[in-house]
Structure 1
């Protein structure tokens, strides 16, 4: 390092010497001609001075030797010639004096130039000294930079060595990764084959078990029928007064119980026998011959009566007129739902209230208000018995009420964003909720705890349940299917818009979805494909929570538009059957079709609930 510094200093010294030599040469070349001319002039001046002195001395000597009178000078021709010869000397002296003056002037100018050049030389010497100081500082900086460069070079060498080591390790890991990936693919293929075999074997076992159960049930049914035909059932005749009362009841309203509870109205519709399966026949005969529910001398509770009077819809009535309309809430109404027996209607809005309405003779009678919700209501659902109400709220929770109790019975917390849907499973002891926090949760209502959480990639706007399958509609324009017995999504069906609602048909064979592309889609749950798409001129999906439903007999699809009009499509023809305008003055948020098929309910943003018939 020291040798390099000394070599550099020697180079800089030689460079400075060369620069000074070049400057001396350039300045010397400028004044060399001038100095030579000045020297020549000085030599000529000195020669002329000496020549003039000699001439003057000789002239004076001659003049002294030959003193003459003026008359003699004029008379003597020789003296006249001498005087004539002295005349050029005078002129020569004058010219010499003129040359001397010129030379003195030039000498003064040259002296002035010499002074200027000496001042310039001093300034240049000062600049040179400054440059030398700067050069010395730059040499110091250069030595520091060289030292840093040496350190950085060493660090770069160390890093390159480490990089080479890491590269070798990365290549080794890459080879191991490829090997492990191949092994993983082989294991995944084996796993897939094993799962396929397991599913096939389970399906075969399930079919075998179903066949055995069918045989056992048939045998039991035949045995029960034989015993029933042999058993005598005593039925006490009803008094004449009771018969008269029954005849005078055109609407078939059930009388009130002792505790004041009103039983639900039972509009009767005959069911087609050809549409009933063997399992349905078995359930009906079991109900007839279940001795716990004999029609003889027995008593039952209100809930048992509600189970007994659940209506069966064979053909839904196509609505055409408004049966009743009420201002239901203090602000926007988001949800509406009929009870399983169609005798009760529930509405929920952003005022944090759930209102229960009795549907009596086509009129809405305010029955009860359920309070205690911690946020606006987004979804309402009745349990299969019609005794409990489950609601989703803006306050990141779902709440459960029992009909007759004003306060909430259970609060299901655990979501981190507003809950958009809350639905019961096959019983009132299980429920499913969907939220904007990208999760779906399954709940054990007996324990009031979450039994499973499903993480999704998008907001969940609605959920429905059928047997062991959970179906969810999402903001990313997809419908996902989840098996409650497995951790992963089993099927994804893309649609062309954000899914706002889902509704499953009573036979659980078709799914109706409403989306923001202003279309309703019917999905075949057996083939998992879109079977029909319903559109209409003027139909606009008003929000991300707009609801659409099937009719109870699955003959029609119903949805409300942003302009307040209700649209009904025919499932068989796929065309618009009718529209119901002019009642709602704002966007229809939700609709529902009563299980009896007689009534339709709709709610809008202007706090109105309308009952159609």
Structure 2
């Protein structure tokens, strides 16, 4: 076995050295005792021989002349000699003393031998333990060598992984730089695209305007020429109609001219007809054509000037059923749910949340069944709206844009970018090709969805938290505790209604005569738009707005107002009496962010900050 190395060999040598030192110390105690005992034994044997030689014979008296050491002690004077009896007695005493001393020494020898045996056995035990510890140390040294090998292997592996990690980090940095460059290029391309769209739209509008003006001038010129031409009594009404119809192109103009023709026919059938009557009819025809052309120019919202289809969300509610119990509870999103909206005249509803997802559900048989997931949102969803036909979904997001989806298609159809801060509200107007958005950048924008182009930007003095749209009016609720009214045909604010508390939501009744607002002063207010005055203020003990985007809604028949509270309860007020109709506590464990009432009035859906969506019946 190889000699131990390092610190282990040092402590072993130390133990061996200590044991040897103790052995030598114990032996040193007996090195003096054993020779003394041997000398005593020799003296005892010598004295025994002397005593035998000094034994006197019974019949003889012999004087000895030997001198010994006892003589020096016993003789009082030089000439006196002790008798043998005296000497014998002395020798017996001395022998007795020596025997006693030898016994004592023998007892000490026995004790020392016993102690030496105990020490020897302890030494053997310690040597055996030392051998066991040496074996254990050898095993540990072997294990240590194995672990050292594993450590070296791990170090080599870590070095390889570190090199690979450095390589991947360098590649990731290059990829990130490439991604940033591509994103900048995309942003630049989007900006250029928006500019090109805006330029193209402006050019189209200019061409259309020139074409309309040329058309109007041509028709006016032709009508003036027709008016100046002399008309004889023999001319038929058809000639007049053909002259007027030469400048008419639109169906509305043709219908008006047809009416004028019928009127002219009636007048031509009269027995007496004057030239003044004829000239009056022609002048009226010119005025009518001008008015129709001007109306055609004003009314066009799209490029071609064709009228857009208008949809009215006709309520199909027969009788509203107040929510009393939760029928279905599910975790609709991965995080906070901010918005919920029913499609017009349908059981389809949409929910959107902070997880950047929009889920479509069908409320069928007292359950919420997942229908589709709309993907591609660039940020947290703050507001949702269906178009009047229920075929498109518009969402406001935190990535400074609103996005448009078509129901049945998972990816976004259009992105309405132009705001410089979070978009907090996005609503369709009464047509599916127009929308309005509000943002924290203190602007409200009108959009032409056919061109994905912002047709108008309204600058406001405060954050916009929600918007609603009527026939020719846009209503916005703001962070400065005011509700503003904007005429979509004019550039300025037409009216401002102050409320107590930051406005969190607005909801317009189906008849567009009443507006419901929710604000952070924990109240709901009903505003009569016919007199522009606050008609009712709803309060309740325990009701508190849980966030700056808490949504409250009318029932489909406008009989009740519904809102969710910070404690997860739903509060329902009677609009006519202003009293609290009921409050329902359900499975919500967090603040309710939004509520939606089914157009049929049969059930309600609420969403909260704890990912839950609850169907009430």
TM-score for both structures, normalised by structure 2: 0.49
TM-score for both structures, normalised by structure 1: 0.50
